[in-house]
Structures are given as C-alpha cells and as structure tokens.
C-alpha cells in the first residue's frame, strides 16, 4: 500500500524539486536554520558535563542505539563528563520533579554547530524531549549523514498531552503498552491514561480484594509487578501514568466478585455487550466508601501520579430509580434527581482521594459547582463544556475531536484545538490557563493486541503536534509530509502500525500473495465505532479478524489519489502537467474496475473476505465514473445531464458505509466529477 502511495506521489508534475525542509514533528516553538551542516563522522561520543542520573543515562543510551541502527555509526558506549571531542554535549541542571506533574519543565535548547551538538535543559525530562528532536534532525545525502546547523528553543504549548488506552474492553498485554509508550515519547506526549476497569473487565490485581481480578477479568489482568514495570518504563521516558477506575457507572466488573457494592443485589457477570450498562455503585452505603478507601490506599502504592481518574460518565440511573431504599435516601437528603445523587457520590470519593493525596479527574458528567476546584474535568463533549468548567474555576483537558475510534483522518484531528480562538476570546487569561491540553482516546471495543497500533498511529502524532507546537502551526499538507516520515520512524522503533496490517492481510487472504487485496485495502477504511454498533453489533466475544478489522483509517494510498485529483482540478489549465495527472489517475481508476474479478478469484480461499466483494463492486463503478469524468475534463465538454445525475447519485451512495467499510478513495472521484461543467 505504501509503495502505491509513493508511486502516485511521484507522478506529480512538479517542475522543480522542493526546497529542503525539516521533518520535525512536533514542530518546535522556535527554530533558526543556518547555512552549513555538521557531518556525522565515523565515531560518535556523548558528554554530560553537569548533572546526570540513571534516567538521563538510559535516555541517552536509547537515543544512541536508535542512531546507531539508523546510520551504522560507531558510538562510544561510555558517557563522559569531559566535553573535549564530544559530538553531543547534554547539559542538564537537575533531575526535575521526583514525581512528574503537569508543572514539570519540559523545555530545552538545541544548538548544532559545525563541530558538535549542545543540548541544554533544566530537567531530565526536557533533555529527553531534546534527544527526540536531535534524532529527527539527522539527515542524509550522497555525502553521508549530517545535521543541519540550527538553533532550536522549544517548549510545549500545553502541559497535558495524553493518550488513553482502554485495556478493559479488550486486554492489552504489557509489551503493547510499552511499545506505545516508546511511540508517545518520540512525539513528546507525556501522559498515559490507562483505562483499567469497565463493564467488560477489571484489569489490575488487588491483594486486598482478590475477587476483583479473579471473577472480573477472565484471567487477563496486570499484576502489581507488571504495573510497577510499566510505571517505571513510562517515567524513564518522561511519561506519567494516570489510572482510571470507572465509577459509579461502567462498573459491572467490580460487582462480579463484590455484588454488595452495587445498587441491585445481582448476581453479576462480566458484560459482553458494549454500551452503558445499568449496574452502578450504591452511593448510599457506607460500606461502599470504606471499600473504595481501602482499594485506593492499595493502588496509590502502584500509581504515584498525583491524578486519579474516576470515569463518571454515562451513568445509567435505572438501578437507583428502581431501588426504594435509594429513593428514600434521596428524599431525606433533598436530592432532586440522579445527577444530584452522583454529585454526592463524587464528593465522597473526592474526599477519599484527597486523603490519599490524589486529585480527582473525571469526564464531563462530574462537573458540578459543589466539587472542589482541585478536580479536573476531561471533556468528551467539546470546547464549550471545557470552557464552562474553566469559567467555574476547574482545570480541564479536551478529548472531543481526538477519539481515534471515530476513524477520522489525521487532518480532522489536527484541526481540533483545546483552546480555539472562538473559546479563547471568551475566557480571561486566568481561565484560559486552566485548559491544560488534551488526550487522544483509543477505546477498546473494536481493537485487539494485533490491531491497536494501526488504530493509534500515525494519526496520534498529528494530535501530539497540536498539543505541543504553537497554535500557528496549521499547514495540513506539510503535516502529512512530515507524518509520513515519522510513521516510518515509529515503525522502526517497534510500533506495528505498518507491519501489523500487512501481516493480517496475508492471514485474511490465506496466502502471502495479497495482490489485489492489498490494493483494495488501501482504498477502504473501517466504519466508525458508532456505525459498527449499528450495522453489525460487535461484542467482547466477536472475532475481530476480518478484512474490515484490518483496513486502517486515513490510508495513505487513498489520500495520495485524492491529492492528485485535487491538484488536477486546481491546475487543469496547465496542459502538460494535467496530462501526467490524468494518466496517473486514469491508470488507478482502470485498476479499480478490475478489482471485482481479481477479488473473486481470491475469495474462494478465504472466508475472512466477507463483504469485500460489495466494496470492490462499488469501487469498480466509481472507477468507471472517474474514467469518464477524466475524459470530459480533458476535452472540456459538458457531460449529459443524465450522466451527471447518475454520477452524483453514485457519489452519494458511496458516502454511506458498504458493509463494514467506507470508501476512503471517494474524494478522488468526487473532486473530478464536481469540477465538470453541468448542463443548464
């Protein structure tokens, strides 16, 4: 698929090569390029003349390992304090915070001269960020590897730049979590929001309450040792780990082993369906709060971060409303509705967390003026909700627009800002400062350990840039250019968003020769989570191994075709270039028309291709329409009215899901058809 994208991009009729540009992502706050270069020679030596500790030295060692793998340059194993002859000098003033918080100083400067690179940072975390920029600066040409001469002064725009990984709906092994932590560090993200309990599973071992994992996890959970390993692994990379244990709703897995915590006597079983279940904690029982207090006391030993996420979203009040004792409690305490009862529960839990020196975080639904202003709100509803919290004095982060299971493009996510001008204009500077950043969300309903990487990356790198770089960095075309480079770097570092789908395609095809299936996969993308639940409702027991589970959102081959079509429409007056573009698009459209027959020859050998034939048929029809549209565009004729009407109807039909697929390549045909003159 990648090869096709590169071939199509190579067909652009550029008259001259573009000026050299950097491939940094995220874009630094400030960068000045100077003439010249610093060659990377046969040997490479690192010096730390000031502060050093184990975390810094391990970070340097990881960077050196990646540099050696990329360039083949011999790197001295020891890190010296002597700067004489050093290639890279890392000057750090101190270790930074003992337990990292949003207030950690992540700034750094990077100076590349003709003889050496000097990285300066006030903290180890800042140095780790600078090392990632240093690695991204490495370039090559016929004369070898080098760094451009530059001065970079960098710091993040927002202090909270997170990724939520849901390990409850589908369990994700430790190696999956750790390789995604590596990827997060590469693009300067600093919070892993670990969703560890929901209706479908409780994923942490508790020594005090062992039935949580025994009865609520299907045997798939993290041991205390594994939790400590992940937290240490993240800290080594300047990443905080914020646990989420959902309550009072999304909590069935708690009640399988401890039904007395719930508002209904049960019995309970792990919920296999997805959605908001009726089960909810009983906010009226003191035994519930004693249980939570004891559980938190145990878990804070594993999770040192000062923030603790309680979830708090989508609470179904059915159990509360049907329980006569709870209704009497509400009347006695003059609670008008379920929202008031949830606010009471949240206040009680907040006191528990504060006693254990933790700050509560929750989704929009927890926002209530009765909560202390130390509480942080995570908004899935949007900037307006985030702004409302900021005006009330609450800090907040944005996730609306960053839901990866919405299967949007990197460009869609890139356009979402935690503090857009429309919101910033309505907030005072103090209120605006309460918007701490945002988090990409990888909910786990439709991902497994084999597919999760391709759902997170590379799109999350675009979100990472939105959260780190200045608000003025908005060029979508340049973002995609750099994203292609960073995508390869992420794969080289161990993420499997490229090789994973390629391997799964071979499984779906039942052969190593995926042939037309590979082409088809590059033109399709999965339906959104909401569409999937409507079209073919998956459960926790659904095997996510068909082609619809393998294709990736925002596929590069489809985007490359759409770019060519957009360029043809914009530059169609330039005859020479238009011919090259038309030929490239014409060959692609012709290949679409051959897909049904080619796929039919493969289909007999693979039951996992179910539904792919309908998508191939629709692409064949679009290919025929695109071919005719190119001919009309070339000769300047107005197409017949009946052809135009039929084509528009086809385009409209192709906007809807076909089976469990969406036609990612649709914009290529649509742009050309809409550019044609229409009969009066």
Q: Each residue of 223-262: b (16+ CB within 10 Å) or e?
A: eeebbeebbebbbbbbbbbbbbbbbbbbbbbbbbbbbebb
The per-residue pLDDT for range 53-73, each reduced to its tens digit, is: 999 999 999 999 999 999 999
pLDDT higher for 9 or 384?
384
Superfamily of domain 30-154: Chitobiase/beta-hexosaminidase domain 2-like (3.30.379.10)
Instruction: Tell me the pLDDT band of 511, cut-offs 50, 70 and 90.
Output: confident
Predicted local confidence at residue 12, as pLDDT = 37
The per-residue pLDDT for range 338-383, each reduced to its tens digit, is: 999 999 999 999 999 999 999 999 999 999 888 999 999 999 999 8
Share of the chain above pLDDT 70, in %: 95
Predicted local confidence at residue 3, as pLDDT = 41
Predicted local confidence at residue 607, as pLDDT = 73
124 Cβ neighbours under 8 A, 6+ residues apart: 53, 55, 56, 59, 92, 94, 95, 96, 238
The pTM score is 0.95
The per-residue pLDDT for range 408-452, each reduced to its tens digit, is: 999 999 999 999 999 999 999 999 999 999 999 999 999 999 999
Residue 636 has pLDDT above 90, yes or no: no
The per-residue pLDDT for range 136-157, each reduced to its tens digit, is: 999 999 999 999 999 999 999 9
Q: Per-residue pLDDT averaged across 220-249, rounded?
A: 98
Q: Per-residue pLDDT averaged across 285-297, rounded?
A: 98
Query: Among the residues of 107-222, which ranges form H helices?
Result: 124-137, 174-186, 211-216
Residue 11 has pLDDT above 70, yes or no: no
Predicted local confidence at residue 603, as pLDDT = 62
Sign of the dihedral through C-alpha 163, 164, 165, 170? negative
The position carrying tokens 């509560």 is 360
Predicted local confidence at residue 575, as pLDDT = 61
Predicted local confidence at residue 17, as pLDDT = 33
Instruction: Tell me the pLDDT band of 21, cut-offs 50, 70 and 90.
Output: low
Q: Per-residue pLDDT averaged across 601-618, rounded?
A: 80
Predicted local confidence at residue 574, as pLDDT = 56
Instruction: Tell me the pLDDT band of 611, cut-offs 50, 70 and 90.
Output: confident
Instruction: State in Å, rounded, how far the first CA of the chain is from the last one.
Output: 41
Distance of CA 551 to the CA centre of its chain: 16
Share of the chain above pLDDT 90, in %: 88
The per-residue pLDDT for range 192-213, each reduced to its tens digit, is: 999 999 999 999 999 999 999 9
Question: Would you name the residues annotated as active-site residues?
Answer: 314
Predicted local confidence at residue 605, as pLDDT = 58
Residue 158 has pLDDT above 50, yes or no: yes
Distance of CA 273 to the CA centre of its chain: 24
Predicted local confidence at residue 20, as pLDDT = 40
Name which of 115-119, 464-468, 611-615 the model is least confident about: 611-615
Task: Tell me the C-alpha distance between 502 and 451, whole Å.
Answer: 11
Retrieve residue 226's tokens. 């594994």
The per-residue pLDDT for range 238-250, each reduced to its tens digit, is: 999 999 999 999 9
Radius of gyration in angstroms for the set of CA atoms belonging to the chain, rounded to a whole number: 27
The per-residue pLDDT for range 176-186, each reduced to its tens digit, is: 999 999 999 99
The per-residue pLDDT for range 540-587, each reduced to its tens digit, is: 999 999 999 999 999 999 999 999 999 999 876 556 678 889 999 999
**CA within 13 Å, CB half, 275:** 11
Predicted local confidence at residue 6, as pLDDT = 35
**Domain range annotation of the chain:** 30-154, 500-675
515: alpha, beta or left, given left = phi > 0 and alpha = psi -120 to 50?
left
Retrieve residue 80's tokens. 């010296």
Q: How is 355-405 classified by DSSP, letter by letter?
A: HTT-EEEEEGGG--TTS-TT-EEEESS-HHHHHHHHHHT-EEEE-TT-BGG
Instruction: Tell me the pLDDT band of 9, cut-offs 50, 70 and 90.
Output: very low
């Amino acid at each position: 698929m990648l090869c096709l994208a590169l071939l199509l991009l190579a067909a652009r009729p550029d008259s001259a090569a573009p000026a050299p540009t950097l491939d940094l992502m995220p874009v630094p706050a400030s960068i000045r390029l100077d003439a010249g270069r610093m060659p990377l020679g046969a040997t490479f030596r690192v010096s730390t003349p000031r502060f050093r500790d184990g975390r810094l030295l391990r970070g340097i060692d990881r960077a050196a390992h990646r540099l050696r793998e990329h360039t083949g340059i011999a790197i001295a194993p020891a890190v010296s304090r002597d700067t004489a002859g050093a290639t890279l000098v890392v000057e750090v003033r101190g270790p930074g915070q003992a337990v990292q918080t949003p207030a950690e100083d992540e700034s750094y400067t990077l100076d590349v001269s003709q003889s050496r690179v000097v990285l300066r940072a006030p903290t180890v975390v800042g140095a780790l960020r600078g090392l990632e920029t240093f690695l991204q600066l490495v370039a090559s040409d016929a004369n070898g590897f080098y760094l451009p001469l530059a001065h970079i002064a960098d710091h993040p725009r927002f202090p909270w730049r997170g990724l939520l990984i849901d390990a409850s709906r589908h369990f994700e092994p430790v190696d999956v979590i750790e390789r995604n932590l590596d990827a997060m560090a590469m693009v300067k993200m600093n919070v892993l929001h670990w969703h560890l309990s929901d209706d479908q599973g409780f994923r942490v071992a508790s020594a005090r309450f062992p039935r949580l994992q025994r009865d609520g996890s299907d045997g798939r959970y993290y041991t205390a040792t594994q939790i400590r390993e992940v937290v240490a692994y993240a800290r080594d990379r300047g990443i905080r780990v914020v646990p989420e244990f959902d309550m009072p709703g999304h909590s069935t897995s708690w009640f399988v082993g401890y039904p007395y915590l719930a508002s209904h006597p049960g019995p309970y079983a792990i919920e296999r369906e997805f959605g908001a279940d009726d089960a909810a904690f009983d906010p009226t029982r003191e035994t519930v709060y004693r249980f939570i207090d004891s559980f938190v006391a145990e878990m804070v030993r594993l999770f040192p971060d000062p923030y603790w996420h309680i979830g708090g979203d989508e609470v179904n009040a059915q159990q509360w409303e049907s329980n006569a004792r709870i209704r009497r409690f509400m009347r006695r305490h003059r609670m008008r509705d379920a929202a008031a009862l949830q606010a009471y529960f949240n206040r009680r839990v907040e006191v528990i967390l504060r006693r254990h020196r933790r700050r509560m975080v929750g989704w929009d639904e927890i926002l209530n003026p009765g909560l202390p202003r130390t509480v942080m709100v995570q908004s899935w509803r949007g900037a307006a909700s985030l702004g409302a919290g900021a005006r009330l004095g609450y800090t907040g982060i944005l996730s609306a627009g960053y839901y990866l299971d919405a299967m949007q493009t990197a460009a869609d996510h890139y356009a979402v800002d935690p503090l857009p001008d429309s919101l910033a204009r309505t907030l005072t500077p103090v209120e605006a400062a309460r918007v701490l950043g945002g988090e990409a969300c990888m909910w786990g309903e439709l991902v497994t350990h084999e597919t999760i990487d391709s759902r997170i990356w590379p799109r999350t790198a675009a979100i990472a840039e939105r959260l780190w770089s200045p608000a003025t960095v908005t060029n979508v075309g340049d973002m995609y250019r750099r994203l292609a480079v960073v995508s390869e770097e992420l794969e080289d570092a161990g993420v499997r968003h490229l090789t994973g789908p390629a391997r799964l395609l071979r499984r779906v095809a039942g052969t190593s020769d995926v042939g037309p299936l590979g082409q088809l996969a590059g033109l399709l993308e999965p339906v959104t989570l909401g569409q999937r639940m409507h079209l073919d409702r998956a459960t926790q027991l659904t095997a996510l191994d068909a082609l619809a589970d393998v294709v990736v959102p925002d596929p590069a081959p489809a985007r490359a075709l759409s770019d060519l079509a957009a360029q043809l429409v914009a530059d169609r007056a330039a005859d020479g270039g238009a011919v090259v573009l038309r030929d490239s698009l014409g060959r692609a459209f012709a290949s679409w028309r051959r897909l049904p027959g080619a796929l039919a020859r493969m289909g007999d050998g693979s039951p996992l291709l179910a539904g792919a034939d309908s998508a191939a048929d629709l692409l064949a029809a679009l290919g025929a329409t695109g071919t005719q549209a190119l001919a009309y565009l070339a000769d300047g004729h107005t197409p017949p009215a009946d052809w135009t009407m039929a084509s528009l109807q086809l385009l409209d039909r192709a906007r809807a899901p076909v089976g469990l697929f969406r036609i990612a390549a649709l914009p290529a045909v649509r742009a050309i058809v809409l550019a044609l003159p229409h009969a009066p």
